Amino acid sequence: MTMPQRFGPYGGRYVPETLVSALEELEAAYETYRADPGFIAELDTLQSDYAGRPTPLFFARRLSEKVGCRIYLKREDLAHTGAHKINNTLGQILLAVRMGKKRIIAETGAGQHGVATATVAALFGLECHVYMGAEDIRRQELNVFRMRLLGAEVLPVTSGAGTLKDATNEAIRDWVAGVENTHYIIGSVVGPAPYPTLVRDFQAVIGRETRAQILVKEGRLPDGLVACVGAGSNAIGMFREFVDEPSVRMIGVEAAGMGLDSGRHGASLARGVKGILHGSYSYVLQDEDGQIQEAHSIAAGLDYPSVGPEHSYLKDLGRVEYQSATDDEALAAFQTLSRLEGIIPALESSHALAYLLREGGTKGGRPHGFGSDDVVVLNLSGRGDKDVYSAAAALGVTA
Amino acid sequence: MSAHKDPASTGHPAAASALTQVFRAAGKPLLMPYAVGGYPDPDSCVEIVRAYVKNGADLVELGIPFSDPLADGPVVQSASAAALRRGVRLADVLRIAGVMAEEGVRVVLLSYLNTILAFGPERFFDRCRDGGVLGVVVPDVPVEEATDLRATAGARGVDVILLAAPTSTDGRLARIAQAASGFIYCVSTVGVTGSRASLRADLPGFVARVREHTELPLAVGFGVSTAEQAEEVAGYADGVIIGSALVDMVARSRSLSEGLAAIGRFVYRVRSMPSLSR
């Protein structure tokens, strides 16, 4: 049962030769341990006792009334460290320990994946270095402090625009140099094979729990799933379980930033061109010479100029609809959910919400197209505490 | 000791490519300096390549600037970024390569894959062939991903240069050797490009391990930054690639003439080392 390296034409392993043996080693370790009862039991125990899984599936009554369909929120914001990122880092740290790696590295944008990585490194007593763009360090002071508190070293990256893309380059360069004793915990369903598969599998717990929970609450599968898509790990984690259920409509929402035509967005699927970034073939924001462009989103976690290769494939297949929401729409949704349900969502997750809240559909309805009896699960991938300062700044108030 | 095999003894099934023949005809290890294409500007880049050749370079490697060069260290990164800021494009580097080849310089390009994909692989290798480029190193394409590229390039008589690393298993080295043409680029350090105080102790062993799998010439690069290191490598390899050390000299110089003088002196000194001057 060799893992596929590609999703249709997408994915692959476009990295320097120095890394290929390490990727082969990782793939072999994952092949072994994903079927290993001891590994599965240890991960299950950590997911429940440490990360707080299963996360609740919450019926959002007031939001449902506003949006015009039955909306459930999958509460990944309640997982330990405040987002779905912990699902992946727990799985990968167990692999790293079994491979005998002594040092962990990671890249981070907003700092959520960096915090989730620093957390599991602390739990297992491993050395942890997190690469973070200098610009992001400035914007996300709180998460930088959390990582340092957890014992990680945060390494500023000044190349490029000093954001997630550049931090990822630097993490890969570190890995090339330290590959013999280092494991790279990549934060999303991107990078060279086997990462997109491995991260997806660790995130697929979101969809598995959702299926079981909705069957209890509604006695049937949902009619729709909505999730935000930056690089795409929370969305794949939700969608994976339902890809083969044709009755389930799936919607991924990208960051339209200041508008798709502004050139300042993170909508790789809407506006990208097929190419290579960080080791895999996917849709990439690039200029006509193949130089990678900077992405933009008010949500740092969506500020990435490419997307997981499996999303590119699902787009081409037409299995998932990919939509987008602007910074302003996300900011409005951020406030709406806070007031309607007493839940402050991450700005990333607010993009998914913004799609459901959008007005101006045909016949006076909303463009989402769901009827009042339709059951829709929105993946609330993270909590918004980290975003209150940037939201306050964008709203022109003092936090 | 000579690292060179008698051409008659090669068991390589395919006829040696033009690039392989450059190594075989030399009778000594080749000195292969690298320059970031179009850096610090296209005209100066031409002068830099001429200075390499005038002072004894046998073959020149020209890098195509890319926004996200993940196999490169800080020196090549910042030179590439500077070239891009000046508006240098792939077509400019191809033009420089063409001018150089016309002057009799043997040229190999280095390009990350995305740049080639955006330009169109067929168009890219057409231009390489027409411009006299002998081969292209693509540092983010390992052997498993190289099949299409090799076919497109091979149909035009251009070699895709594969890399081998100290971390490559013997199984991988066999696969690389099977698919390689031109020469094999042996990565001398586990890491990105850039100067190192010393070479890996196991470098000769690594090169010997690659040689067990192939009759093709082996060039060593990534971190070779002094004449002494070049001499050491020339003792067991067929080519020595020096990149970041030279790019850094250009970056640090206050004027083009100062930079040209510095790289000229350095290349001449390397060329004068015993194993490289035979």
Q: Which chain A residues have a beta carbon less than 8 Å from that of B169? A: 21, 24
Mutate to test the interface with A, among B66, B67, B209 (most CBs of A within 10 A): B67
Mean pLDDT across A384-391:
90
Helix (H) or strand (E) holding A375: strand A375-380
- Is the pLDDT score of A364 beyond 80? no
On average, the pLDDT of chain A sits at 95
pLDDT-derived band at A2 (thresholds 50, 70, 90) equals low
Query: Which among A13, A21, A180 has CB closest to B172?
Result: A21
What does the alpha-carbon distance between residue B31 and residue B271 come to, in Å, rounded to a whole number? 7
Mean pLDDT across A25-49:
97
Please indicate whether, in this complex, the C-beta atoms of B187 and A17 are within 8 angstroms of each other. Answer: yes
Q: How many CA atoms lie within 13 A of B237 on its CB side?
A: 29
pLDDT-derived band at A139 (thresholds 50, 70, 90) equals confident
Please indicate whether, in this complex, the C-beta atoms of B113 and A160 are within 8 angstroms of each other. Answer: no
Q: Which chain A residues have a beta carbon less than 8 Å from that of B142? A: 13-17, 20
Report pLDDT digits (tens) over A231-290.
999 999 999 999 999 999 999 999 999 999 999 999 999 999 999 999 999 999 999 999
Answer yes or no: are the C-beta atoms of A265 and A258 closer than 8 Å: yes
Q: Pick the closest to residue B211 from B181, B191, B238 (CA basis).
A: B238
Mean pLDDT across A382-386:
93
Tokens of residue A82, six digits: 């405040």
pLDDT-derived band at A399 (thresholds 50, 70, 90) equals low
Lowest mean pLDDT among A40-49, A198-207, A227-236, B198-207: B198-207
Residue B5: predicted pLDDT: 41
Q: Pick the closest to residue B188 from B237, B116, B144 (CA basis).
A: B237
Q: Pick the closest to residue A223 from A68, A379, A375, A72 (CA basis).
A: A375
Q: Which residue of A has its CA nearest to B188?
A: A18
What does the alpha-carbon distance between residue A31 and residue A346 come to, in Å, rounded to a whole number? 34
Q: Which chain B residues have a beta carbon less than 8 Å from that of A28? A: none
Report pLDDT digits (tens) over A72-99.
999 999 999 999 999 999 999 999 999 9
Smallest Cα distance from A78 to chain B, Å: 36
Cβ neighbours of B89 (radius 10 Å): 22
Residue B14: predicted pLDDT: 63
Tokens of residue A78, six digits: 């309640």
Please indicate whether, in this complex, the C-beta atoms of B163 and A177 are within 8 angstroms of each other. Answer: no
Residue B3: predicted pLDDT: 44
CA A168 to chain centroid, in Å, comes to 15
Query: Which among B71, B140, B164 has CB closest to A276?
Result: B140
What does the alpha-carbon distance between residue A363 and residue A369 come to, in Å, rounded to a whole number? 11
Instruction: Count Cβ neighbours within 10 Å for each residue of B68-84 and write b for 16 or more, e otherwise.
Output: bbbbbbebbbbbbbbbb
Please indicate whether, in this complex, the C-beta atoms of A292 and B68 are within 8 angstroms of each other. Answer: yes
Q: How many CA atoms lie within 13 A of A191 on its CB side?
A: 24
Smallest Cα distance from A305 to chain B, Å: 12
On average, the pLDDT of chain B sits at 94
What does the alpha-carbon distance between residue B79 and residue B88 come to, in Å, rounded to a whole number? 11
pLDDT-derived band at A69 (thresholds 50, 70, 90) equals very high
Please indicate whether, in this complex, the C-beta atoms of B168 and A17 are within 8 angstroms of each other. Answer: yes
Please indicate whether, in this complex, the C-beta atoms of B112 and A276 are within 8 angstroms of each other. Answer: yes
- Is the pLDDT score of A3 beyond 90? no
Taking the Cβ of residue A177 and every Cβ of chain B, the question of whether any pair is shorter than 8 Å is answered with: yes
Three-class secondary structure of residue A322 per DSSP: strand
Q: Which residue of A has its CA nearest to B190?
A: A177
- Amino acid at residue number B66: F
Report which DSSP code applies to A124.
H
Residue B61, φ and ψ in degrees, nearest 5: -105, 125
Angle between helices B244-252 and B74-85 in degrees, nearest 10: 60
Taking the Cβ of residue B9 and every Cβ of chain A, the question of whether any pair is shorter than 8 Å is answered with: no
- Is the pLDDT score of A161 beyond 90? no
- Is the pLDDT score of B11 beyond 70? no
What does the alpha-carbon distance between residue A202 and residue A208 come to, in Å, rounded to a whole number? 11
Mean pLDDT across A368-372:
94
Report pLDDT digits (tens) over B229-242.
999 999 999 999 99
Residue A361: predicted pLDDT: 67
Please indicate whether, in this complex, the C-beta atoms of A17 and B164 are within 8 angstroms of each other. Answer: yes
Mean pLDDT across A340-369:
90
Residue B193: predicted pLDDT: 86
Q: Which residue of B has its CA nearest to A273?
A: B118
Please indicate whether, in this complex, the C-beta atoms of A16 and B145 are within 8 angstroms of each other. Answer: no
- Amino acid at residue number A85: K
Q: Pick the closest to residue A221 from A261, A248, A185 (CA basis).
A: A248
Residue A222: predicted pLDDT: 98
Q: Which chain B residues have a beta carbon less than 8 Å from that of A172? A: 70
Which residues does B59 contact at the CB level (< 8 Å), separation at least 6? B22, B30, B31, B32, B106, B107, B108, B134, B239
Interface of A with B in 250-309 (CB under 8 A): 273-279, 284, 286, 288-292
Q: Which residue of A has its CA nearest to B116?
A: A290
Mean pLDDT across B70-95:
96
- Amino acid at residue number A72: Y
Please indicate whether, in this complex, the C-beta atoms of A17 and B89 are within 8 angstroms of each other. Answer: no
Residue A234: predicted pLDDT: 98
Taking the Cβ of residue B71 and every Cβ of chain A, the question of whether any pair is shorter than 8 Å is answered with: yes
Residue A140: predicted pLDDT: 86
Report pLDDT digits (tens) over A101-123.
999 999 998 899 999 999 999 99
Taking the Cβ of residue A158 and every Cβ of chain B, the question of whether any pair is shorter than 8 Å is answered with: no
Mean pLDDT across B39-49:
98
Q: Which chain B residues have a beta carbon less than 8 Å from that of A291? A: 66-67, 84, 115
Lowest mean pLDDT among A359-373, B35-49, B84-98: A359-373
C-alpha distance across the termini of chain B, in Å? 12
Name the architecture of domain B7-277: Alpha-Beta Barrel (3.20)
- Is the pLDDT score of B13 beyond 90? no
pLDDT-derived band at B196 (thresholds 50, 70, 90) equals confident
Q: Which chain B residues have a beta carbon less than 8 Å from that of A163? A: none
What does the alpha-carbon distance between residue B96 and residue A351 come to, in Å, rounded to a whole number? 47
Smallest Cα distance from B95 to chain A, Å: 15
What does the alpha-carbon distance between residue A136 and residue B176 come to, in Å, rounded to a whole number? 40
Q: Which chain A residues have a beta carbon less than 8 Å from that of B68? A: 160, 165, 169, 277-278, 292
Catalytic center residues of A: 85, 107, 381
Residue B7: predicted pLDDT: 41
In terms of DSSP bridges, do strands A103-108 and A182-184 run parallel, antiparallel, or are they unpaired?
Answer: parallel
pTM (predicted TM-score):
0.95
What does the alpha-carbon distance between residue A8 and residue A250 come to, in Å, rounded to a whole number? 19
Answer yes or no: are the C-beta atoms of A4 and B155 closer than 8 Å: no
Report pLDDT digits (tens) over A196-240.
999 999 999 999 999 999 999 999 999 999 999 999 999 999 999
Distances (CA, A) of A22 to A28, A188, A376, B39: 10, 18, 41, 34
What does the alpha-carbon distance between residue A21 and residue B166 come to, in Å, rounded to a whole number? 10
What does the alpha-carbon distance between residue A144 and residue A155 come to, in Å, rounded to a whole number? 10
- Amino acid at residue number A4: P
Report pLDDT digits (tens) over A336-347.
999 999 999 999
Smallest Cα distance from A176 to chain B, Å: 5
pLDDT-derived band at B194 (thresholds 50, 70, 90) equals confident
Answer yes or no: are the C-beta atoms of B113 and B140 closer than 8 Å: yes
